[in-house]
A and B are shown apart, each in its own frame.
Chain A
Amino acid sequence: MYSEATRPILSCAAMTCEMDSVSGPLQILQDINFTLAPRRALGIVGESGAGKSMLVKAIMGIAPKGLKTMGRIELEGQDLLALKPRDRARLIGRKVGIVFQNPMTSLNPFVQIGRQIEEAGCIHMGLSKAEARSRAIELLSFVGLPDPEDCYDYYPHQFSGGMKQRIMIAAALICQPDLLIADEATTALDVTVQKEVLDLLQTIQAERQMSMILVSHNLGVVAGRTDEILVLYGGNVVEYGPTAEVFRNPRHRYTEALLSAMPAMDQPAHTRLRTIPGQPPNLANRPAGCPFAPRCPSAQAICHEVMPPMSAGIHPDHRFACHFPLAELPRPAQQEVAHVQ
């Protein structure tokens, strides 16, 4: 998959997150493994409660107090968990830009937006006031705000939700990060605005040659915009592979169920969408086997008892954790077209 022999931007190895609770430690995330190469985009998909946001927060080091992260998280070769919290915050602030879910609450209503955009630059890169200002204004116009010079002095309440999210994106770009994380960045926006913001993110990623992580509960959001996809269920990775491959030939039953729950253009109108019966797993009371087994139509006895290991498909980078995966489809002739960079 990595045609260039470059060091990955971000990699997680055997990452596990635990939170203490009344009934003992809760495993919020279990054994997460992935690597993200430069200039590539990763989609992280799952239902609410699957652990997507916690994964992002654990990587960023802003998880709620009491969350213990184990394993290895490397940012450009640096082991984040080995760093002092202060150094780690500085490194991440410098190298990673993040856009959160709710633009209405992500901007401080008491601080001028210009200041909110440039502050990380002033602190991490030692920009002077004038440099910071010109760079912030440049970014404001880059993300598509009209009259960026005036906007600089405005307060957040003077902007709409979509505009605020553009401002958040500008703020994430101030340090020229190598990685941009969008954590459900468009979920709170109107559908039309969603597409604009997503397209903006994609353009930025391409133009600035960054890596990107797109976190969403919506497969449609990551479909055309990512190179790889990571499907989370109940705090476990259930499927991980090139986006086109996973969409064409999902092997895990949960991924397949998610895909069939999506409306498709080729379906006749008024086709009933499939839903996934049952509830997401209760982390306090994990089943011993596959977390999806209680809701899986094809579950057998072994699924309830033994955690399925990660196995590889025909495509070498396509992995899934299922005892009884879906059948492998023959690869189409023009296979290479599916993952042009």
Chain B
Amino acid sequence: MLNSAMPYFRAISTRLITGVLVFLLVTFSATALSSLAPGSAAQLILGDYATPEQIAALNAQYGYDLPVWQRYLSWLGDLLRGDLGVTLFSQQPILGVVLERAAVTFEIAFLAMAVSLIGIPIAMYTASHPNKLGDKVMRSISTVLLAVPTFVIVVLFSYLFAMVLRWFPATGWAKFTENPVANLWYVALPVLCLSMHQTAYLYRVARNEFVTTLQEDYIAVARAKGLPLGYILFHHALRPAMPQILTVMGLSLTYMLAGSFVVESYFAVPGIGWTILSAVKSHDIPLVQAILSLTVVIFVIVFMLVDLGYALIDPRVKVS
């Protein structure tokens, strides 16, 4: 992924063009999805007892009777105007709902990612003492953690921390803007659950990366200079290992989002995952479509940030 021979700005613009194409591909597919509905989309949304008038009204509003490409173009137009219509049942503006819920998911995902960074110093330490007790123990723990799906962690942790130990509340929510302390209180367990898999994964990748880096000649030179181990790790090993770690952090965002569905539904956190689950239940197709599109935008942005990160970390990647 890291290609130092390619001028940096070209890499970024290639990424941007790819991102736009991916966005168009995914949003178009999302629009086309409603054509798969048995019967018609309007029929599906309104249920078996809908009158023809109700169906006609819905079609007029969402255009489910139009060809896919026409519907897609009008959806794109709506997007540019910043108005994606209203949710089917609560009749709130879709864009507002999605962004508000996304902020909640973002908070949890961001905190979980921050917690998972603990894997990096642990990896640094164990990689510099390979096959010692600490290394073996951490490797076993991470291997086991990677085998426990997030939904299992959610169940086990809520049993342990909410039912047996009663350290954290099992469910509930407070807005960060209204009561930050309560918000952090409610968010603790979801964040912990979501970060477990991520921490183990990050640790593993970082450990392998550090082991490889520590075999480089320039590390032998640093050791020959008599530099202390801590200095060598932070000044000579950390930066070379970062590009790979950054890539993995970007890539694992998909896994975190999938994990957030589980975490949010179990702890009743009003985020994107919770929203899409209720949207699925009520066949709120426009809302599902909006969430899919938002996800793609987030991923394109994250990958561009990862590219930017390369340039900050690796002096060989520079705008030419």
Contact = CB atoms under 8 A, between A and B. Distances in A.
* Physical contact A–B (CB less than 8 Å): yes
Interface in A46-101: 60, 62, 65, 86, 89-94, 96, 98, 100
Interface string A97-114: 010101001111111000
B227 interface: yes
Contacts of B226: 89-94, 120, 123-124
A108 B218 contact: yes
Given A155-B315, A171-B225, 19 more contacts: A89-B226, A90-B226, A91-B226, A92-B224, A98-B224, A100-B224, A106-B217, A106-B218, A106-B220, A107-B218, A108-B216, A109-B315, A109-B316, A110-B313, A111-B236, A119-B225, A120-B225, A120-B226, A157-B316
Interface residues of A, number: 30
Given A100-B217, A102-B217, A106-B218, A111 B224 contact: no
B216 A111 contact: no
A22 to B, nearest CB: 17
B240 A100 contact: no
A124 to B, nearest CB: 6
A325 to B, nearest CB: 37
B231 interface: yes
Interface in B243-301: none
Interface string B293-320: 0000000000000000000011110000
Number of contact residues on B: which range applies? 20 to 34
Contact of B227 (A60, A100, A120): A120
B24 to A, nearest CB: 37
B240 to A, nearest CB: 5
Nearest to A101: B217
B52 interface: no
B228 A105 contact: no
Nearest first, the 7 closest Cβ-Cβ pairs linking A and B are: A93-B226, A105-B217, A155-B315, A110-B239, A108-B218, A120-B225, A89-B226
A90 to B, nearest CB: 5
A115 B240 CA distance: 16
B65 to A, nearest CB: 59
A100 B224 CA distance: 10
30 contacts: A62-B220, A86-B228, A89-B223, A89-B226, A92-B224, A93-B226, A93-B227, A100-B220, A105-B216, A106-B218, A106-B220, A107-B218, A108-B218, A108-B240, A109-B240, A109-B315, A111-B236, A111-B239, A119-B222, A119-B231, A119-B235, A120-B225, A120-B226, A123-B226, A123-B228, A124-B226, A157-B315, A157-B316, A168-B221, A171-B225
